[in-house]
Amino acid sequence: MKFNIALLAGDGIGPEVTDQAVKALDAIADVYDHTFKFTKAPVGAIAIDQTGNPLPDETIELCKNSDAVLFGAIGHPKYDNDPSAKIRPEQGLLKLRKSLGLFCNIRPVKAFDRLIDRSPLKKEIIQGTDISIYRELTGGIYFGDKHLSEDGQVATDGCSYSVEEISRIAHLAFKEAQNRRKKLTLVDKANVLETSRLWRKTVTEIAKEYDDVELDFLFVDNAAMQMILNPSQFDVILTENLFGDIISDEASVIGGSIGLLASASVGSTVGMFEPIHGSFPQATGKNMANPLASILSAAMMLRHLDLHKEADAIEKAVEKSLELGITTGDINPEKPFSTSKVGDFIADFL
Amino acid sequence: MKFNIALLAGDGIGPEVTDQAVKALDAIADVYDHTFKFTKAPVGAIAIDQTGNPLPDETIELCKNSDAVLFGAIGHPKYDNDPSAKIRPEQGLLKLRKSLGLFCNIRPVKAFDRLIDRSPLKKEIIQGTDISIYRELTGGIYFGDKHLSEDGQVATDGCSYSVEEISRIAHLAFKEAQNRRKKLTLVDKANVLETSRLWRKTVTEIAKEYDDVELDFLFVDNAAMQMILNPSQFDVILTENLFGDIISDEASVIGGSIGLLASASVGSTVGMFEPIHGSFPQATGKNMANPLASILSAAMMLRHLDLHKEADAIEKAVEKSLELGITTGDINPEKPFSTSKVGDFIADFL
Ligand SMILES: CC(C)[C@H](C(=O)O)[C@@H](O)C(=O)O
Ligand SMILES: CC(C)[C@H](C(=O)O)[C@@H](O)C(=O)O
């Protein structure tokens, strides 16, 4: 089969790590007789440098006309100390999510046995953790009205959610739970927020269509505690945009391996696949960044394109690299392999 | 000296644990020749049961006319599965904060050496942690306009902050930093929220008046990670209401001892002092809940009333109880002492 893949490598280590994902996909293409046509387009700080726009229209067009988007990372230190700069890399990412209708961000969080000792949490706590976080990605306070009074004294952000926005991601999350351990936890702040109460009501209603799934609720402050105290209690977590941002980043470090975590953003049209980690400016150009999250993003992409055998093959290759210690310095400080060496190993193994 | 203390024991284990704080304060009164006059008033679920109102006007009046408020806990399971009930215990707490102008919630988070092994985090990670969290408590999305459309399809929450609201707590946080390790971290989401950008701008401006304090910034998602990866990097954390709710609850479990954490809420008038933990319905009436957080809240109250020697004495007594293992089952599962026995020990020791 033939697939058109938009390659949005972005900033910092983005290009280095997506290069390795491309190697892996090329190897898959050879073995399983597919064609992946990669087309590059700018996004983020690099797009601002080149065009003045963190998300040029051509990039959006390319993505819309592709079968999937492989994303690297965005962000550059020169914007970090000035979050009120008029033009910022993050705007590109937010606009991309909105333009492509990527309302559902999926983040698997898993304790890899081989890396469990690297977790900041004790082994007994983290063991067996296997969570799938469903974060709403195109609504809530991220996309509400923003306002600064003329005298600069009062700022406001609006947060809003509709039953429709809640329902479409809730159905996806319930279906995921049916394919897993059949438990769904809604994280909200229904004791304070009107939007959270609408989430709770809507999700409770939808739960009736999935009576094999056990639904429970956690206030977000409690969820932030439970994620550390007892992460293995969770199966699928469903939550709104801002809470998802916080809880999924918190969850991403408990496994001890943020360099291994991938995510998928799906919705109305094409899906987008990216590592959890950022653009890691300190490592840029040094051929030392861990490419496994990007490679696992490629696996998520394959699964989304219904190429399950192929996705399994990539995941197996990643496990092999962990087993043999053919990994970068973040995981393997004693005998680090370079970014490209790890990519070569995965491609060869495939 | 003579002090009028409003005693809002509230729900669940609230009464049992505040009883022990009262014992400790009575012992302090004896030794240091003070008078504490305690006056009880209802709040929370119990106030709903008694009066239909989670915060009766008489309770507010009493608090306003007291030198300090000692608070227990609120919440009852019968409200937990119905967060959209018209009348809820939490409303009492929110209204109390607003009525008393308690805009600043202070939560110390410390790794107690004796309890470090009980932390879900590894010892190397948690060791040396000593954080003071300053959470804004009467603004933001908690108190913004809430709206549900007539057809029930769209819910909204407004979030707003003024320079004045930010400044008054920022000054308190900077002063605290000056008395500690001289580092202040502002936690926000300035890459997305207008309110966060106003926080960053205002706090940056105020920092000029405290040039011995080092100011840095963390996005809230990153803060949720750093709290687990490297909590000892933090000194004073300053943040808005909702982020403070999440981050401080997350922080509260890393020490392994939520039963030891107290908090102070201060602002324009009288201060309120309470344990971090909730009403713990499962333990209610069983004389097994840990009273140390409530007792340490009393110590925070004394410090706020400028009775530093007296506060030190209580803290020392608590340390002694930990040293001797005269503690409840949550800390000391092998040989648990009852709530009242722990209270008696503290009072006797004083
Ligand atoms: C860069 C930022 C706007 C973004 C977000 O908050 O959504 C990031 O933290 C993420 O989680 O993808
Ligand atoms: C009970 C609830 C409304 C409250 C809050 O969110 O402020 C609680 O979680 C707290 O932190 O004191």
**Domain assignment of residue A264, yes or no:** no
* Residue in B126, B133, B154 to test binding to A, most A beta-carbons within 10 Å: B154
**Contacts for B290 with CB less than 8 Å, ≥ 6 apart:** B17, B259, B260, B277, B327, B328, B330, B331, B339, B342
pLDDT tens figures, B160-212? 999 999 999 999 999 999 999 999 999 999 999 999 999 999 999 999 999 99
Residue B142 is predicted with a pLDDT of: 98
Ligand 2 atom with least separation from CA of B137: 7
One domain for residues A234 and A343: no
One domain for residues B255 and B322: no
Residue A195 is predicted with a pLDDT of: 97
pLDDT tens figures, B241-298? 999 999 999 999 998 878 899 999 999 879 999 999 989 999 999 999 999 999 999 9
**Domain assignment of residue A125, yes or no:** yes
Test site for ligand 1: of A90, A104, A107, A239, most ligand atoms within 8 A of the Cβ:
A90
One domain for residues B6 and B81: yes
- How far A153 CA lies from chain B's nearest CA (Å)? 5
Query: Is residue B83 very low, low, confident or very high in pLDDT (cuts 50, 70, 90)?
Result: low
Boundary (domain end) residue, out of A203, A226, A258: A258
Average pLDDT, integer, range B99-109? 96
One domain for residues A245 and A288: no
One domain for residues A201 and A284: no
The Cβ of residue B31 has, within 10 Å, a number of other Cβ atoms equal to 12
What is the percent of chain B where pLDDT is above 70? 99
DSSP tag of A79:
H
What's this model's pTM, rounded to 2 decimal places? 0.95
A197 annotated as a binding-site residue: no
In sequence order, the β-bridge partners of residue A40 are A7
What is the percent of chain A where pLDDT is above 90? 89
pLDDT tens figures, A214-239? 999 999 999 999 999 999 999 999 99
A148 closest CB neighbour out of B194, B225, B243: B194
Q: Which residues of A touch B201 (CB under 8 A)?
A: 84
CATH number for the domain that contains residue B224: 3.40.718.10
Nearest-CA residue for atom 1 of ligand 2: B90
Given a cut of 70, whether residue A83 has pLDDT beyond it is no
**Residue A82 burial by Cβ neighbours in a 10 Å radius (0-12, 13-18, 19+):** exposed
Given a cut of 70, whether residue A72 has pLDDT beyond it is yes
| Cβ of residue A245 closer than 8 Å to a chain B Cβ | yes
A192 closest CB neighbour out of B125, B142, B222: B142
**Domain assignment of residue A213, yes or no:** yes
Helix (H, G, I), strand (E, B) or coil at B186: strand
A156 to B159: CB separation less than 8 angstroms, yes or no: yes
One domain for residues B108 and B177: yes
pLDDT tens figures, B142-165? 999 999 999 999 999 999 999 999
Average pLDDT, integer, range B124-129? 94
| Cβ of residue B210 closer than 8 Å to a chain A Cβ | no
pLDDT tens figures, B293-341? 999 999 999 999 999 999 999 999 999 999 999 999 999 899 999 999 9
Q: Is the CB of A221 under 6 A from ligand 2?
A: yes
A197 to B90: CB separation less than 8 angstroms, yes or no: no
User: From the candidates A249, A286, A312, A316, which is the catalytic residue?
Assistant: A249
Q: What is the mean pLDDT of chain B?
A: 95
A191 closest CB neighbour out of B90, B195, B201: B90
Boundary (domain end) residue, out of B226, B260, B294: B260
Residue A85 is predicted with a pLDDT of: 78
pLDDT tens figures, A42-64? 999 999 999 999 999 999 999 99
One domain for residues A275 and A228: no
Boundary (domain end) residue, out of B223, B241, B260: B260
Range of the domain at A336: 1-100+269-350
One domain for residues A126 and A251: yes
What is the count of structural domains for chain B?
A: 2
DSSP tag of A336:
P
- Dihedral Cα A311, A312, A313, A315, nearest 10 deg: 90
In sequence order, the β-bridge partners of residue A37 are A4
A11 annotated as a binding-site residue: no
Average pLDDT, integer, range A288-303? 97
One domain for residues A130 and A254: yes
One domain for residues B148 and B241: yes
One domain for residues B109 and B251: yes
Residue B174: phi and psi, rounded to 5, are -60, -40
Nearest-CA residue for atom 2 of ligand 2: B90
Residue B214 is predicted with a pLDDT of: 98
- A–B: how many Cβ contacts below 8 A? 181
One domain for residues B111 and B240: yes
* Residue in A124, A250, A258 to test binding to B, most B beta-carbons within 10 Å: A250
Residue A256 is predicted with a pLDDT of: 82
CA gap A137, A245 in Å, rounded: 9
